[in-house]
Amino acid sequence: MSLAPALSNAFRITPETDADREEVEALVMAAFGPGRFAKTAERIRETAHMSAAFVAREDGRLTGSVRLWSITVDGLDALFLGPIAVVSDARRGGLGADLVGACIGEAQHRGVAGVLLVGDPHYFERFGFQPAPDVRLPGPADPRRVLWLPITSAAPSGLALPA
């Protein structure tokens, strides 16, 4: 896991450390429940290298988390975003946007082709994520929820695999 380079919202987002791990797991479990282990995204995360991860804390309490994983999409280097979660009583305050912003900064710093995720288009399109109909995942996924944020002009096409 790298230490973050330039973070646009660094005042409350920091790189995840080993000391954060237990609270991150609890936050993600509370946000998604055990059903998340059945998701195709989890198949990627099981074997991919965690490329970076960020947390937010307020008064010592973990309030948000996001992780990024190294993948390739038919040979293109990219990052896979998720899970992203904010504690329920801190939502709608822009923290989710700050976490996504940290991920975009990380992807720009690394010079990867883009950021892939499986998520709600209504939420993620505001950051520039677009449907990626030509990208396939190693398992079933609603194609409307497979989203790509381009960092370079390379167009993703083919199978997304852990790297």
Distance CA 63, CA 47 (A): 26
Q: Hey, CA dihedral for 1, 25, 85, 63, is it positive or negative?
A: negative
Chain residue whose CB lies nearest ligand COA: 96
Nearer to ligand COA, 38 or 153 (CB): 38
Say how many C-beta atoms besides its own lie within 10 A of residue 138's C-beta: 14
Distance CA 28, CA 60 (A): 18
- Residue 153 one-letter amino acid: S
Our finding on whether 68 is near ligand COA (CB under 6 A) is: no
Our finding on whether 62 is near ligand COA (CB under 6 A) is: no
CB-based contact 96:86 (threshold 8 Å): yes
Provide the token pair at 86.
Answer: 């904010």
Distance CA 30, CA 87 (A): 8
Give the number of residues in contact with ligand COA, rule: CB under 6 A: 15
Nearer to ligand COA, 41 or 113 (CB): 41
Binding mask 111-150 for ligand COA (x = CB under 6 A): --------xx-xx---------------------------
Residue from 7, 52, 53, 84 binding ligand COA (CB under 6 A) = 84
Non-local CB neighbours of 25 within 8 Å, separated by 6+ positions:
none
Our finding on whether 85 is near ligand COA (CB under 6 A) is: yes
Backbone region of residue 161 per phi and psi (left: phi > 0; alpha: psi in -120 to 50; beta: other values) = beta
Our finding on whether 97 is near ligand COA (CB under 6 A) is: yes
Binding mask 22-41 for ligand COA (x = CB under 6 A): ---------x----------
Minimum gap (Å) between residue 25 Cβ and ligand COA: 14
- Residues forming contacts to ligand COA in the complex (CB under 6 A) are 31, 84-86, 91-97, 119-120, 122-123
